[in-house]
Amino acid sequence: MKVKIIEKIDTMRRLRRRLVEPVGFVPTMGYLHEGHLSLVRVAREENTSVVVSIFVNPTQFGPQEDLTSYPRNTKRDLELLAKETVDVVFIPEASEMYPGSYSTWVEVDRLTQRLEGASRPSHFKGVTTVVAKLFNIIQPTQAYFGQKDAQQIAVIKRMVADLNMNLKIVTAPTVREPDGLAMSSRNSYLNPQERQAAVVLYQALCLAQQLWSQGEKNAPRICQEMINLIQKQPLASIDYISVADAETLNELDTISSPALVSLAVGIGKTRLIDNIVLQ
Ligand code: PAF
């Protein structure tokens, strides 16, 4: 079947009625990489129909962030998706998603206040609002998100449970470059020197994993070792390093339950995030 490219919300809704259940949905902001494609492949395996959205959601970018420079290449994205046997690609216009009269927001409390939420105060309000809108339009049976955005997954799962949304959220593992750097559209901002330096995020996570495997359960000590390692890289500036309960995202002193080790580090002017779960 040829992939259908839909821009209008009404057309998407009409087409949705004809899609055979179950319907898997992969929301993206485009500039697709292997991480996105791995989500599409899992969605393909687990569903009869697959919908992918491409929408650079303006409301999840802060005023000083990279909305205008965010990488875009819809032509290439569509070529990649055609090879994955996707049924529908939904590419709405910002003016239809957020008309001038737009006034409704979906906000998740507490979980959004730490980590990414502390550094990017309005970010999750934009994410949950657009994801709720996309879920309403596409009505998926299951939606697919990458583990790289661990806090985003926790927040979306909370929203789905709290608002009794009728779908399952599926998480797929982070896809990495051969040297361990997590795939991200923002990696395209890195110059060759910065690209080499960026591997320090993964090295710090591997160090945490190693210390924990050797019996270290003290979270602040693990964080300190990660800081020491990252500070040796002159192009890196730490935003946060956290060892938190994987579900509540509350910071841990002693690691007993599954722990989310996450970090945000600037490499030159590019802010990168990554995480692993110790369990
Ligand atoms: O993870 C992303 O790419 C975005 O936050 C999402 C879920 C597509 C919402 O705009």
Position 68 scores a pLDDT of: 96
- Ligand 1 site, residue 127, Cβ cutoff 6 A: yes
Sign of CA dihedral 273, 274, 278, 279: positive
pLDDT at 1: 65
Q: Which atom of ligand 1 is nearest to the CA of 28?
A: 8
Asked if residue 31 lies in contact with residue 73, where contact means CB atoms within 8 angstroms, the answer is yes
254 inside domain: yes
What is d(CA 259, CA 266) in angstroms, rounded to the nearest whole number?
Answer: 23
Question: Is 89 close to ligand 1, i.e. is its CB under 6 Å away?
Answer: no
In-domain check, residue 177 = no
In one-letter notation, the amino acid at residue 129 is: T
**Any residues with CB less than 8 A from the CB of 216 and at least 6 apart, and which?**
222
Query: Taking Cα atoms as reference points, which of 134, 142, 138 lies closest to residue 47?
Result: 142
Kindly give the number of the ligand 1 atom that is closest to the alpha carbon of 156: 7
Q: Determine the residue of 25, 33, 52, 57 to mutate for testing ligand 1's pocket, defined as the one with the most ligand atoms within 8 A of the Cβ atom.
A: 57
Residues 6 or more apart whose Cβ sits within 8 Å of residue 198: 181, 187, 190, 267, 270, 272
Distance 21 CA to ligand 1 centre (A): 23
Q: How many CB atoms lie within 10 A of CB 73?
A: 14
**144-171: b or e for each residue (b if 16 or more CB lie within 10 Å)?**
bbbbbbbbbbbbbbbbbeeeebebebbb
CATH number at residue 131: 3.40.50.620
The reply to whether 10 falls in a domain is yes
Q: Domain count of the chain?
A: 2
36 is known as an active-site residue: yes
Residues 50, 154 within the same domain: yes
Mutate to test the pocket of ligand 1, among 91, 125, 131, 169 (most ligand atoms within 8 A of CB): 131
pLDDT along the chain (279 residues), means of 10: 93 98 98 98 98 98 96 98 96 98 98 96 98 98 98 98 98 98 97 98 98 97 98 98 95 94 98 97
Considering only CA atoms, which of 76, 93, 81, 11 is closest in space to residue 51? 81
Assess if residue 69 is contained within a domain: yes
Pick the catalytic residue from 12, 35, 36, 114.
36
Which structural domain range is residue 237 located in? 185-278
Give yes or no: residues 84 and 209 share one domain. no
